[in-house]
Every structure is written in C-alpha cells, then in structure tokens.
Structure 1
C-alpha cells in the first residue's frame, strides 16, 4: 500500500523527487508522455514577422538520446490553420535533453494573418517510444496579435475624442507610462482633472483590461444644499475599461460620484485616441 501511494504521488507531479518513509525514491514503471498543461496563450507583436513559442511536455522518466515524441495539429475546434497562421517547427519533433524528463516543441506564430481577437490551434501528442495513458494529452494554444507599449504610447499625444467630463472632444493630452504596480502598468493622462492632477489608470498588457483607481476629479459639487467632492472610480454597470495597443485607443468606463454621499453623476465614457 505504501508503494502504491508513492507511485500515485509521482503521477500527480510528473517527477518523483521525494521518498515515502523508507521506500526508495525511484520510479521504475512504464514511461508516459503528456503535455504539462492543457492550454496556453502567446502573442506575436505587430513589428515582428513571426514569433517562436515553446510548448512543454513531460516523459515521467528521465530519457537519453532523441526520443520519438511529436506534436500533431488537431483541426477539430481549431480556428487557426497550420501553414497559414502558424508553423510547427522541427517536423513536429520534441527536444528532450539527456537526463531530463521535460521536453519542448516549437510553434512559430505568423504575424501577417494574426488578429487581436486571437485564433486557437489544438494539438495532440504522440510517440512510438512512450505510452499516452495519462491526462494532458491535448493542448490548446491561443495566438493573438498585439503591439508593444512603444507603439501604443507613440508620440504620447492622445485626443480625448469621447469627452464626458470636460465636454471638449478636441482636447489633446500627454499620456505617459509610469511605475508598474502589482503587475499592471500605470498610465497618466497629464493634467486631466480640474485641479491639474493627472488621471491615473492601470493596464494589463496580457488581458488589455484597464483599471480606474478611486481618485479625486479636482471638482467640488455645490448645488441644492449639497457640497461634496466629485470622485471617479470604475463604472458600476458591468462595463469594463480597456485599451487596444495597435489602434492606440484607451476606453475608460468611469463612475462619477459625490464622495461621502449617496449621490452620483453618471456611469460614462472617456476615450483617448493616439495622434
């Protein structure tokens, strides 16, 4: 029973690196081949012709030589087309270094047909040297077009073409990239608020989602017996702020409210487009 428990632990983590009480810490059963995960995401940048990405697989046991392990395109449920959207390099053969149990396939994502919406390619794994009776026998790769921060920021000049707060859809602001916080990059729309403060947002370059932190607009509402500062935070109607790094468009959904009261002004849109 103790040995069975050890083997089960091995199969769960793919590499047996610990002992169970006083049993030997070696697995001498059959070798299996499998992907290390079921899905992944990769980007090709607009200023690249292509980008090579690696898809990892495991063999449970360490290997020597050049094992016969291949990645095979599965067109079922795929929206990406082999030879058009991507290429499988090395004839589909995986590479495992001697004495290792982790290998890699290489997929080349082509820029020309890529879209920001993304396309999905499904793959299977096969081998004449290893059995395929573990989980993770299929892998789904989403491949998308994106643009670098340098392309997105450009000259740093952005027109506030949808302007709820100021009402001036001709105004052009300087937009700068600032200090990253918690994995999200920070943008500042310089001098946007009424008191000259910057409009601050955070953006995620992987999901393209933008977050509007709670911040003072620089304006105090004083009417009908109400005197309260107007603050801005994410919209409460379920819409999400986002940005498109290739079209250079930053779309913010903002909830304007009177801090310290139950009153609000609007859930509305501010949009900035690079010039």
Structure 2
C-alpha cells in the first residue's frame, strides 16, 4: 500500500502538467475573418448632419502579418442607398500584424435618415485570409432621432382633419410661440364661426415624450344655440415633422359637451 501511495504522487503531478499545457494552447491553424456581430442599430439626431459609426470585424487568431480586409454593401438586401443615405469612409482596413480586431467607419447621413428604420447589409472579405463559416453578413438598422425641440412649432399649418368642422381640409392655421418654452398657440384668426377670432386661441403644452395637453385661453364664442365653448384636449406632436395630432378634443358649454373630436395639422 505504501508503494502504491508513493507512485500515485508523480502520476498525479504529470496529469496536472498535461492539463496546464492544454489550457495554454494557442490556435495556430489557418486564420479566418468575420464580423464581430451579425446586427447593430443606430440613430442620427435631427440637426446633426451625420453620424459616424463603426462596423467591427475580427479574425480567428492574431494576424501573422499586415492583413487587408474589405467591406462591401449587399445592395439587393439593403433599403438604404450607398452615396445617398450613407457613405463608407474606409472600404478597406489594414489589420496590423499581431492584432485580431479592426473596424470600418460608416457615415450615416441625416438627409437620408427617416423615422422608419432603414437597413444596410454588409459583406466582408479579405484577399489573404479566408472567410469564417459564421458572421459573414452584418445588418445595420438606423433611423432619424428627433429629440425634444420646440423651434419647429411656429408659422403656418394646413388642416388635415377637423371633425368639429370649424375648418375645411386644406385650410391654413397660424401658430405662434406660447408664454412658456414648451408651449405654442394655435390661433383662431382663420375661424369664421366664432366672434372672437382675434383674441382666442388654443394653448398647447408639450411634454418631452411628445404628448400634449390643449386648453383654450378663453371660451370660443359661437353665438346662437351653441353659445360659448371652452376647449380642452390631448394628443401628440412629432418632433421630426412638427406635425400636430390632437386626438381627443372636447368642446363644452351651456349647450352641452362634444368629446372625442380630432384636429390634425401638418406644417406647410
């Protein structure tokens, strides 16, 4: 038993040594290139002109010598158009010897960005390194981001919908800045049905998320059986287009209440 006990010590040490050698092993076979991920998303902020993003690629092992890697657009599977919606700053990247991660720079143009996401599909290749069996296509989706901005809500607007029927579709409405930084006024100067069009207006208060509340500064004077009507409501604005959608407008007065009216405006 003692002999067996002593013999087991060098055998165990040999096993540890063998395991350590395997753990420290480095891949020394053929090198292959692939994208670092199969997809990504980005936004271009309104007013920024453009945004530069990186498309990362990697090789299976460190490059043994300076390696040329190329990126190309798969136009058939892209909704964005190269040269119109975006530009590739470096279609060829030189991966230095000893490195295994590189990137291509892509410039996303604000002029080509929309609120609806556009897609760019990229392919990768190298004249000296083979393609891996994975991550050979990278799909980038990007859109226009429009942060809170009140500067667009001024000037003339066109009526799209008015279920209360003060205005016909296509009528022109004037909007002015409000007393607070997050407010604007929808003037009544084009309303032929009220007797106080020069003094009354709807005051719209805008939240950071685009939600709005609406309240008239004074009752709209319709006269006749309708009489005076106070106006209130809720809706949303679009910071990209400066569009206004009052989806629930209420008119209330001595003659009664009319709720759920829609008032939709687009900027001229």
Distance in 2 (CA, whole Å) between partners of 1:170 and 1:38 is 44
Distance in 2 (CA, whole Å) between partners of 1:243 and 1:76 is 32
Assess, with a 3 A threshold, how the Cα gap between structure 1 residues 61 and 88 changes in structure 2: closer, same or farther. same
For 1:163-174, what aligned pairs fall within 5 Å after superposition? 170-174=173-177
Distance in 2 (CA, whole Å) between partners of 1:125 and 1:96 is 14
Aligned to 2:183, which of 184, 189, 196?
189
Tell me the residue number matched to 1:199. Answer: 205
TM-score, scaled relative to structure 2: 0.52
Aligned residues: 211
Distance in 1 (CA, whole Å) between partners of 2:214 and 2:143 is 36
Distance in 2 (CA, whole Å) between partners of 1:27 and 1:264 is 78
Distance in 1 (CA, whole Å) between partners of 2:104 and 2:237 is 33
Distance in 1 (CA, whole Å) between partners of 2:24 and 2:258 is 65
Tell me the residue number matched to 1:28. Answer: 26
Tell me the residue number matched to 2:248. Answer: 255
Query: In the TM superposition, what is the alpha-carbon distance from 1:89 to its structure 2 partner?
Result: 3.1
- Report if aligned partners of 2:174, 2:186 keep a CA contact under 8 Å in 1: no
Please state if 1:157 is matched with 2:154.
yes
Higher Rg? 2
Distance in 2 (CA, whole Å) between partners of 1:176 and 1:94 is 54
Q: Which runs of 5+ in 1 are unaligned?
A: 1-21, 179-187, 204-210, 222-228, 235-240
Query: In the TM superposition, what is the alpha-carbon distance from 1:74 to its structure 2 partner?
Result: 1.4
Query: In the TM superposition, what is the alpha-carbon distance from 1:129 to its structure 2 partner?
Result: 2.8
- Report if aligned partners of 1:111, 1:145 keep a CA contact under 8 Å in 2: yes
